[in-house]
Amino acid sequence: MQISVIHPSDLGEPELDRWRKFQDADPEQDNPFLSPEFVQTVGILRPYVRVAVIGDGSGIAGFFPFEKHRLGIGRPVAAGLTDLQGMVYAQGLDLDAGRLLRAAGLATWEFDHLSVAQPMFLPHHTARFPSPAIDIADGFDAYLAELRRRSPKTHKMTRYQRGRLGREVGEVRHVAESADGAALRELLAWKSAQYRRTGRMDRFAHPWIVELVERLHAIRTDRFGGALSLLYAGDRLIAGHFGLRTGTRLCMWFPTYDVEYARYSPGMVMHLDIARDFAETGLTLIDMGRGEKDYKEKLKTRDLEVAEGRVARPSPGAAVQWLARTPVRTLRNTVLANPALRDRADRVLKTYARLRRT
């Protein structure tokens, strides 16, 4: 087995074709965050993105995209933003994660949204978490029937709010994949305000993340695209979402809405419209991402699963990374696992945000 490390821009058409064939062969790997288009786009903006190309004598057997930071500390590509991490590879690949790190020049590689289906990293899991999803493989009507069965109050209330929005504001319509750059910028402004309002880090205060979203929005092919979904009432933009899709899966990424219309539950209305319109295009799954949110629990049909953990080789870099990250992550997971602690932490963050604004 041979492992070489290159920049994503050095991937040629034969390598890209091989990468996509791996994704086509395995539904678990057919995820936009594992797609070469995503890795290459991030690589334009983040100079430390690399791809380890694994060969097994008969050709390329896998790709491992990663970021390499100081002291050999490795992270997933666009860590902190991505809802799925890991390799793209041929089924049956026998690969030791420690050997992979050594070849990549990494002391450690930390993950928090790893696909649990990847056997090379299985011994390194420290925790697993649900990632709520909406199954639309049998079409929107089948999903709606399942929603009425699992959560009849959610279906009834969302239908009522949609009708009320139409009567009081204007005719409700949804655009599944819009090319409107101005609308995208308005959504990012709403999302920034939401982050600040709730005491979270404003991701869009970082120019490279804004540029990443804009570049991904410009990519729209059958295999991969930045999907901008917009919900209007009359001529007014009420809610929107920017996410990524492949030919089979949509990953929800940045949903948001105009707080002036919060009483109409525009986010819930939009999610059902997204499920309807993307089911009509042939997509089979909507991944809402790791994280316990009330709306996800109401809308989901099942849970996917992602893992958290780290692979490490004995080194000063691995020790520094462990001291800096592991205790904080353990504390965070303890809070998130306890509903009372999670709600209290959420209230503290919102109070802190209000105090900063005064």
pTM to 2 decimals? 0.87
Average pLDDT of each block of 10 consecutive residues along the chain (358 residues)?
95 97 95 98 96 92 96 93 96 93 94 95 95 97 95 94 97 97 97 90 95 97 96 97 97 97 96 97 96 92 95 68 58 53 50 51
Rg of the chain in Å (alpha carbons):
21
pLDDT digits (tens, 9 = 90+) for 146-172: 999 999 999 999 999 999 999 999 999
Percent of the chain with pLDDT over 70: 87
CA 39, CA 252: separation in Å to the nearest integer? 18
Q: What is the pLDDT of residues 39-66, one digit of tens each?
A: 999 999 999 999 999 998 889 999 999 9
Compute the distance between CA of residue 158 and CA of residue 329 in angstroms, rounded to an integer.
36
Residue from 268, 270, 271, 265 nearest 286 by CA: 271
CA-nearest of 260, 277, 141 to 190 is: 260
